[in-house]
Amino acid sequence: MECREAERNVQKYIQGKLSDRECAAFIDHIRHCSSCYDELETYFTIDYALRPGEEDTASKSFDMKRVIEANLADTEDKLRRARTAGRFMDVFMLVAEAGLVLTALCKFLPDTMSVVLARAAEFLAKYI
Ligand SMILES: [Zn+2]
């Protein structure tokens, strides 16, 4: 991601309007570009100061580096969890599709498939 694009995405990041992919690219850029990090810090500080919260303003932390770092770490954590869930869904869909194919094969080739299924069951029992 170029600086110009990162600068355009600062507000969207703060508002949580970036897609997971954009967000990951944005954070990656911010982590390596002090100029864009400063830009984020400026807008984040304004947003943070004006954001209504349950806590009163006096007790809000104004150690902005720490607040932003916590926000970035939290967002990275969410992105990681979304990626893991996505991978799980891919595997789940693959298993579901394999199940459908096996079901169809069992219907049309019952004798061959009973042997194949027994082998598959042995394989699964060994590795799962
Ligand atoms: Zn930059």
User: How far is ligand 1, taken at its centre, from the CA of residue 30, in Å?
Assistant: 7
Percent over 90 (pLDDT), the chain: 48
pTM of structure? 0.65
User: How far is ligand 1, taken at its centre, from the CA of residue 71, in Å?
Assistant: 19
User: How far is ligand 1, taken at its centre, from the CA of residue 32, in Å?
Assistant: 8
User: How far is ligand 1, taken at its centre, from the CA of residue 23, in Å?
Assistant: 14
The mean pLDDT of 12-31, rounded to a whole number, is 95
d(CA 13, CA 75): 10
d(CA 67, CA 53): 14
**Which has more confidence, 113 or 7?**
7
> Torsion angle, CA of 91/96/98/99, rounded to 10 degrees?
140
Q: How high is the pLDDT of residue 59?
A: 58
CA distances from 107 to 81, 104, 113, 124 (A): 39, 5, 9, 21
User: How far is ligand 1, taken at its centre, from the CA of residue 51, in Å?
Assistant: 26
When divided into structural domains, the chain yields a total of 1
Average pLDDT value over all residues in the chain = 87
Give residue 22's domain range.
Answer: 3-127
pLDDT band for position 70 (cuts 50, 70, 90): very high
DSSP 25-49: HHHHHHHH-HHHHHHHHHHHHHHHH
d(CA 25, CA 38): 17
Taking alpha carbons only, the member of 44, 10, 70, 74 closest to residue 1 is 10
Q: Give the tens place of pLDDT for each residue, 93-125.
A: 999 998 888 888 878 777 777 787 788 889 888
Kindly tell me if the per-residue pLDDT of 4 is higher than 70: yes
User: How far is ligand 1, taken at its centre, from the CA of residue 83, in Å?
Assistant: 25
**Which has more confidence, 36 or 124?**
36
User: How far is ligand 1, taken at its centre, from the CA of residue 1, in Å?
Assistant: 8
Q: In a 3-state reduction of DSSP, which class is residue 17?
A: coil
Q: Give the tens place of pLDDT for each residue, 43-57.
A: 998 988 887 765 555
